[in-house]
Amino acid sequence: MRGFGAAAGLNPEVASPLAARCQELGYSSMWSNDHPGAKGLDTLADFARGADRIELGVAVIAVDRHDPDAIATDIDRSGLDRDRLWLGVGAGFTKKPLTTMRETLPKLREALPGLRLVLAAMGPKMCTFAGAEWDGVFFNWMTPDFAAQAREHVESGARAAGREPPPVMGYVRTAVGRDAEARLDKEESFYRDLHRGYRDHFDRLGEPEGSVGVAAKAPGEAQNELSRYRALDLVVIRALASATIEDMSTLAEAAAPGT
């Protein structure tokens, strides 16, 4: 399956028709991140106004900036249908990410009963924890091979807990066109030194800068590269395109499922 993702704060006049187009193209879900400048849940609400069937996900809300009660309040305020929602959360800039998320999970369960909770995971321990106790796991900045290795940790955690592995999802940064390589390189450069967690992750990857994701000249090339992410149950196309309905729709069409 494939979802389509854009940065939080996307103009509602772009977000709603974009979601409608993605629904027409066969995407199973629409996703937004969350950052200090804009709330991902607000962007999901704009997506929901354009698409009435597909699922909605935020990946991810950092728990060092939003506590569980505040997240619950924001969901209620946004008017989002909880049955359509995947709530992704991560440790943010906390010094002890695994401990933080272990302590946060029961608080999230209490504040958001019945909601599908997804853990942002990159390292082996976090992936194992996600497999053991969460409703889904969300990868970020991974090559196809690294995603396959990370999935093994998720499945190991699930086996140890005596349960079925949760769905494995993840962003794949995707750019198509003449400037595709420059767009991917710019995005990746920002994340490589964002905080220690990302620095450690990119060190583990050991990949050259500007190579983690899909930068394709043409749609066919993009489809070939995206098909390599077989370790993900849901590939979320994280759009690297100008925030216009024309450019976003063009990318959505190039990366659409079944094309």
pLDDT of residue 258: 84
Q: State whether the Cα torsion 84-33-220-224 is positive or negative.
A: negative
Q: At 134, is the pLDDT very low, low, confident or very high (cuts 50, 70, 90)?
A: very high
The answer to whether the beta carbons of residues 254 and 219 sit under 8 Å apart is yes
- The H-or-E segment that residue 50 falls in is helix 40-50
Percentage above 70 pLDDT, the chain:
100
Supply 165's token pair: 């592995």
Question: What would the CATH number be for the domain defined by 2-254?
Answer: 3.20.20.30
Q: For residue 105, which phi and psi values (nearest 5 degrees)?
A: -55, -50
- Where are the extended beta strands (E) located within the chain? 2-6, 29-32, 55-62, 85-90, 116-120, 136-139, 168-176, 214-216, 234-239
Digit-coded pLDDT (tens) for 193-227: 888 888 999 999 999 989 999 999 999 999 999 99
pLDDT of residue 197: 85
| Amino acid identity for residue 13 in this structure | E
The size of the chain, in residues, is: 259
Supply 41's token pair: 């849940």
* 95 contact partners, CB below 8 Å, separation of at least 6: none
Report the C-alpha gap between 154 and 146 in whole angstroms: 13
Digit-coded pLDDT (tens) for 146-185: 999 999 999 999 999 999 999 999 999 999 999 999 999 9
* 76 contact partners, CB below 8 Å, separation of at least 6: none
DSSP 142: -
pLDDT of residue 196: 85
Report the C-alpha gap between 51 and 56 in whole angstroms: 10
- For residue 121, give the nearest of 59, 211, 73 by alpha carbon: 59
Digit-coded pLDDT (tens) for 74-122: 999 999 999 999 999 999 999 999 999 999 999 999 999 999 999 999 9
Peptide bond into 172 cis (omega under 30): no
Describe the crossing of helices 97-111 and 68-78 by its angle, rounded to 10 degrees: 50
CA angle 217–59–95, rounded 5-degree value: 115
